[in-house]
A and B are shown apart, each in its own frame.
Chain A
Amino acid sequence: MVVSCVAASELLYRMNKQIIILYPKNLCIIRRISTTSSQWHVQPQPRARSAPHHLVGVVGLEIHAQVNSNTKLFSSSPVCFSAPPNSLVSFFDASLPGTLPVLNRRCVEAAVMTGLALNCTINRKSLFDRKHYFYADLPAGYQITQQRQPIAVDGMMTYSRLEGKKGSQVIRRNVRIKQIQLEQDSGKSLHDDVHSQTLIDLNRAGVGLMELVMEPDMSCGEEAAAAVRELQLILQALGTCQGNMSEGQLRVDANVSVHRPGEPLGIRTEVKNINSVRYLARAIDYEIQRQIDVLQRGGTVQNETRAYDSKSGETIPMRDKEGLQDYRFMPEPNLPPLIVYEDNASLPTGIDACQAVVVQKIREGLPELPSVKRDRLVQTYGILPEHSFTLVNEDGLVEFFEAVLKATKKEPRKVIGWVTNELLGHLKQKDMSVAESPISPLALAELLELQETGHISSSVAKQVFQEMWRSSDKSPLHIIQEQDLGLVSDATQLHKICQKVVDLHPDEVNAIRSGNKKVLNKLMGLVQKETKGRADPLLVRAILQEKTS
């Protein structure tokens, strides 16, 4: 063996030498070919140069979603985001000898529910496997996952992208879901470079994850981001995952490659370390462009793992696990197969219906999904599709909007602007959630009702809204009375103001008299300025028309 080792290294050495010798020759050949081609085909050259532009990106996603449960996947220790280190760890989570996994029914139900919402086939029988790797935050030396037979397979998710200048064009796309598997999360490592040590917190070790694999059906960062956003909304609607990316409840890895349409897929890289939807789009687009650049320069894309650096906006190669990973998958001997039942009738005798996971029961309990909700909003209230996206995107905003509608006779299409611009704008500015809004749906409805019945003008309504935001205990009516913002509809008073404006602007009056009726609006604006926007617009128009005729 020693002999053969020596021989092998000798051989390698010689090969290296040969490569070095061959390499310049290769370069020469390439150059020669390119010169000839440019000499012979002068015309097609620009086409040849632009050919690489036809390269398009192909994106698949692997998403880890933390199951929203009280306890971990296989142990009864609590799940909680920022707890003191190692305070949420059972003997099993620390993989002390003699401990055994006991599966959490909630996690199974969450995975089945997610599978159903994503149109998956639920496997009646699924299996658990051990995936081995050696890392300090994985104390058992293996992760329990579902490699051979996951709980759900072959799904499909429809997501929409808003396109066009104002985002008014809704484009629907589909992405296939390959599978959903249940698996354990790992602990967390903190690297202390100063003392050259790694600190281990096992609080997250053993928390239930749903790994969702999306097929490479997306072509750019925007599409991937839209798909992840839709998944996030679905998971939140189901309550199976809280979906907060910054807290790591939703983690996305992107598989990115480029190819010319119709040709086989190119070599892919895996982009990790993406912790927001916005960064996801940027990381993918950067990676697609990088691969196109590499190919255009005549290089080849390496199959590697890259990390996204949000500061520089670049992806950088991660020190890969030597590319020679062997997970040594094996069946988990401590867990018999997981069986789920279609309905109560298919339950075998002797099995308690409360103990079993029954797909039919979960299907019946599915809530309204975001896409259905959006369609309903557009159909019921006649609002624009892009408004339905804004409403559904913000947790609690649909409920707010509907509560306002119940309390006012104002048309939904007029209410929507108040909710999506005024209210949401203020909330976003202060980084607040809908639940934290100082203005209740009823208060907003009262304000809109006052405007609708002609008590205040629309500009005053906005003024009152500002005041309501600052002091939430005051009712709109109270603010209007307090600040004397009520509409001025006293005809004599308005006549006086209008006369003053007409007298001061003879040029405009002449223009109106000679037929340019649009100039009337300018005079109206001036009257409103005088009255601080409180004049009854209909009355003002009538008076001005009379005075300029």
Chain B
Amino acid sequence: MSAFRLFATRAFCGVPVKSVRPSVNLVTNDEQLCLQSRFTAVTRLFSSRPHNSKVPQVATWEPVPQDQLPTPPQISADLVDKLERLALVDFRTKQGLACLEKAIQFADQLHVVDTSGVEPMDSVLEDRTLYLRDDTVTEGDCAEELLRLSKNTVEEYFVAPPGKKKTEYISFETKVLIIMTVHYSDDE
């Protein structure tokens, strides 16, 4: 999903595909840092051996040749319908569809990675013990505080639009704008 968001942002700005690179690099670096610090913590806890990470110190980037990618998919009208409903975004425009196609192509690069013999994992913490808590009340009773966050309340209830009404979609441009704002404020 984050790849799609990144891509959508760039595509909207009219930047060609290849220059997505720096921003992806940036993310990879972040993740690496994060992973490294976790692994270091683990080693410190359980052994005194010096840590030897398989994760490279510096990110590397190689563009995947077009011919190695699967053929670009045909996007059916049904699929557009479904995606609009799930994302609550109205993107049935030429530009929106082109963007989606490019996003799929971008993500398709993952198919090139050889994962044979590698067991999929849900998270890097999946071999850790899940902490189980006692059944004792320590939270709740903060209705006032929570209701203050809501734009609209009635007595002690949150107010939402009526459920029966058809959900309003926001336009593709608005969504991209939102994503851009989030993304760029993250960068800085």
Residues of A within 8 A of B (CB): 1-2, 4-5, 8, 69-71, 75-78, 84-94, 96, 102-108, 127, 134-136, 189-193, 196-202, 319, 322, 324, 326, 328, 331-333, 335-339, 351, 355-357
Contact = CB atoms under 8 A, between A and B. Distances in A.
B77 interface: yes
A10 to B, nearest CB: 13
B85 A324 contact: yes
A355 B75 CA distance: 51
Contacts of A331: 122-123
Interface in B105-125: 122-123, 125
Question: Which of B131, B139, B141 has the most chain A CB atoms inside 10 A of its CB?
Answer: B139
B130 A198 contact: no
B160 to A, nearest CB: 4
Interface stretch (B19-27, B49-57, B150-158, B178-186): B150-158
Contact of A89 (B94, B133, B142, B159): B142
B60 interface: no
B16 interface: no
Contact of A196 (B77, B134, B141, B162): B162
Nearest to A78: B137
Could you tell me the dominant secondary structure of chain B's interface residues? loop
B143 A85 contact: yes
Contacts of A189: 160, 163
A86 B156 contact: yes
Contacts of B89: none
Contacts of B129: 336, 339, 351
B97 A127 contact: no
Question: Which of A85, A105, A355 has the most chain B CB atoms inside 10 A of its CB?
Answer: A85
A487 to B, nearest CB: 58
Nearest to B86: A326
B128 interface: yes
Contact of A71 (B75, B137, B152, B164): B137
A103 B131 contact: yes
Contacts of B136: 70-71, 76
Contact of B133 (A76, A77, A86, A190): A76
A107 B135 CA distance: 8
A103 B132 contact: yes
13 contacts: A69-B135, A76-B136, A76-B137, A85-B143, A86-B158, A87-B156, A89-B142, A91-B139, A102-B131, A136-B160, A197-B152, A324-B82, A333-B123
Given A70-B137, A197-B160, A336-B129, A86 B77 contact: no
Nearest to A69: B135
A516 to B, nearest CB: 73
The 4 A-B residue pairs with the shortest CB-CB distance, nearest first, are A77-B140, A136-B160, A106-B135, A90-B139
B131 A198 contact: no
B157 A78 contact: no
B47 interface: no
B123 A1 contact: no
B62 interface: no
B6 interface: no
B161 interface: yes
Nearest to B126: A336
Contact of A88 (B97, B134, B140, B149): B140
Contact of A105 (B82, B97, B122, B134): B134
Contacts of B97: 1
A196 B161 CA distance: 7
A107 B77 CA distance: 44
B141 A76 contact: no
A94 B146 contact: yes
Contacts of A335: 130
B128 A87 contact: no
B147 interface: yes
A299 B159 CA distance: 43
Contacts of A103: 130-133
Given A5-B77, A86-B146, A196-B162, A190 B131 contact: no
B18 to A, nearest CB: 25
B1 to A, nearest CB: 10
A190 B152 CA distance: 15
A105 B77 contact: no
Nearest to A322: B85
A319 B166 CA distance: 12
Nearest to A139: B158
B2 interface: no
A108 B137 contact: no
A89 B146 contact: yes
Contacts of A322: 85
A102 B133 contact: yes
Given A90-B139, A196-B162, A197-B154, 6 more contacts: A70-B137, A78-B137, A85-B143, A103-B131, A199-B154, A336-B127
B88 interface: yes
B130 A134 contact: no
Contact of A337 (B130, B131, B152): B130
A101 to B, nearest CB: 10
A198 B162 contact: yes
Contacts of A90: 139-140, 142
B37 interface: no
B135 A71 contact: yes
A198 B123 contact: no
B130 A339 contact: yes
A89 B140 contact: yes
B163 to A, nearest CB: 5
B161 A198 contact: yes
Contacts of B85: 322, 324
A145 to B, nearest CB: 15
Contacts of A200: 157-160
Contact of B159 (A92, A193, A197, A339): A197
Question: Which of B135, B136, B154, B159 has the most chain A CB atoms inside 10 A of its CB?
Answer: B135
